[in-house]
Amino acid sequence: MTEMLLYSNILLWLTQLVVFFSLFLLFRQFGEVYLSTGEGISRDGIPIGNPIPPLKGASFPSEQITIPNTQNDKPTLLAFVSPKCKACEQLLPAWNAAHDTLKKQVYFVMVGLGEKQEFEQWLRGRTLKGELVLDPGKHIFSLCKVRVTPFAFIVDEQGIVRGKGLCNHEGHLQTLLSALEGAHRHV
């Protein structure tokens, strides 16, 4: 009898762990689905059509840069990443491929939410093409009204936000870049 009670208790705990894990996955997926909807996109970040505020930061490892770089005379793809974010890590290959293809037409900037040591470790064994601006105090993060990572903006040559949204993979990058193309057709 005691043995049966022990086994049922173990089974109950295992069932609870499966339920908690399933809820975690469900809420995570709900966040991705919600953030990719029109309501989620319009709520987060600087509204489309508004100018991005002038942002200054230290480029990794040490150079000072300004965003948007209007002297560059090309649009800026601005992505917010965190070294603890698995989706941010998975974005790197698509980011690098887009950079290789479009580096003459688009300025690529990642804003890293974290300390220099965290990003040194995060980039160990990986390649990041484009600029990485560190934002350990989340100053740029809050100015741009970003809530989650990875989140990205496409900003035109005049510093106007033309597209924004969750940016987990190549499809999201392409959607942002096509928003820029669509804005140029309507001008």
- CA 69 from chain centre, in angstroms, equals 19
The structure tokens listed for 82 are 């965190």
Q: Which of 46, 82, 57 is nearest to 155 (CA)?
A: 46
Give the separation between CA 134 and CA 93, rounded to whole angstroms: 20
Q: What is the pLDDT of residues 65-85, one digit of tens each?
A: 666 655 568 899 999 999 988
Using CA of residue 30, residue 179, residue 146, residue 168, what is the dihedral sign?
Answer: positive
- CATH homologous superfamily, domain 45-186: Glutaredoxin (3.40.30.10)
Q: Which residues contact 54 (CB under 8 A, 6 or more apart)?
A: 66, 67, 68, 159
What is the full per-residue pLDDT of the chain (187 aa) written as tens digits?
A: 788 888 888 988 989 988 888 877 766 665 555 455 555 555 678 888 999 888 877 676 556 566 665 556 889 999 999 998 888 888 999 999 999 999 899 989 999 998 889 988 988 988 889 888 888 888 888 888 888 889 999 998 888 999 998 888 888 888 888 877 755 544 4
Q: Which of 25, 18, 165, 172 is nearest to 95 (CA)?
A: 172
